[in-house]
Amino acid sequence: MFRYLKSDDNVSPEFEIYRFQLPEHNGIQSGFSGACNLPGRSGLLFTASMENTRSVTADGEITGSYIGVIP
């Protein structure tokens, strides 16, 4: 995917979409907040946060965070 983004090729590579169920705690659902590749390894390192807010676009109090790896 990175090669495609950096190239002038107009044909996108095949890809799959995966759904992830992140943890919920005290009624607050966590959501992805960041990700990066792992140099020399396949997979992504990600962070997820829980915000006490009524809107996905409005900031709220951070009530917890997670870190994980998607292989």
| 50: three-class secondary structure by DSSP | strand
Mean pLDDT of 46-60: 89
Which is it for the CA torsion 36, 37, 40, 41, positive or negative?
Answer: positive
Q: Where are the alpha helices (DSSP H) in 1-71?
A: 2-6
Question: What pLDDT does 34 receive?
Answer: 96
Spell out the domain ranges in the chain: 28-54+61-71
What pLDDT was estimated at residue 7? Answer: 80
> Taking phi first (over 0 means left), then psi (-120 to 50 degrees means alpha), and beta for anything else, what does residue 24 get?
beta
pLDDT tens sequence across 8-41: 877 777 888 999 999 999 999 999 999 999 889 9
What's the whole-number average pLDDT of the chain? 88
User: Mean pLDDT across the stretch 39-60?
Assistant: 90
The pTM (predicted TM-score) of the whole model is: 0.69
49: exposed, middle or buried (C-beta count within 10 Å: 0-12, 13-18, 19+)?
Answer: middle
Amino acid in the structure at residue 5: L
